[in-house]
């Protein structure tokens, strides 16, 4: 067992390599980012969390981020999807580099993998199979509240997130 500064008996898995100054600076990590990613990873490892629950919970969080953004005058409500997306990046940027585009009536979001701040895998060291991306729900909830649209994440190849070494990509359909 590793004996950390905060106490005894901290398992080696709790001392993750990401807490190196270079990685923190590259991703622009805050303690809140590490808290979110490691909390989600820990709950998943305990078997009490899956992508469906994360999607719903983070959608709710996205709606609360809208309320916050409204109070601090970053949004009014009724913005376009693109304007709302830019406002979200100011309120709570899940990544230092993420973009949204419209393709065939769908919204496509791409997040640069190495700059994601709340990834349960990269930051929280989740080692179980499957997706647990909180960003999909955060964006959905924020955009729905801000723009008054109803979005539905698209499942492709059994997952919400198409992940490559360079980027994570997810798609939302606009519901009528």
Q: Tell which residue, 6, 1, 42, 31, has the closest CA to residue 124.
A: 42
17 three-class SS:
coil
Cα–Cα dist 1/46, whole Å: 20
Please check whether the domain covering 16-175 is classified as CATH 3.30.1380.
yes
The pTM for the full model equals 0.86
For residue 34 the two structure tokens come to 């590490």
Low-confidence ranges of the chain (pLDDT < 70): 1-19
CA-CA-CA-CA torsion sign (47, 20, 98, 73): positive
pLDDT tens per residue across span 15-64: 455 567 888 899 999 999 999 999 999 999 999 999 999 999 999 999 99
* Annotated domain spans of the chain: 16-175
- Please tell me the predicted confidence (pLDDT) of residue 10: 44
């Amino acid at each position: 067992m590793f004996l950390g500064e905060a106490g005894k008996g901290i398992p080696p898995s709790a001392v993750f390599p990401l807490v190196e100054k270079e990685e923190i600076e590259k991703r622009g990590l805050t303690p809140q980012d590490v808290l979110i990613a490691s909390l989600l990873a820990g709950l998943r490892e305990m078997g009490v969390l899956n992508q469906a629950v994360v999607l719903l919970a983070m959608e709710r969080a996205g709606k609360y981020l809208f309320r916050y953004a409204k109070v601090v005058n970053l949004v009014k409500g009724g913005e376009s999807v693109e304007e709302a997306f830019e406002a979200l990046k100011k309120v709570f940027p899940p990544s230092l580099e993420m973009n949204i585009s419209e393709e065939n009536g769908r919204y496509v979001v791409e997040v640069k993998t190495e700059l994601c701040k709340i990834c349960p895998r990269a930051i929280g060291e989740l080692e179980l199979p499957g997706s647990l991306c909180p960003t999909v729900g955060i964006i959905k909830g924020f955009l729905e509240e801000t723009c008054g649209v109803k979005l539905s994440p698209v499942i492709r190849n059994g997952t919400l997130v198409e992940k490559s070494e360079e980027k994570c990509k997810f798609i939302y359909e606009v519901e009528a």
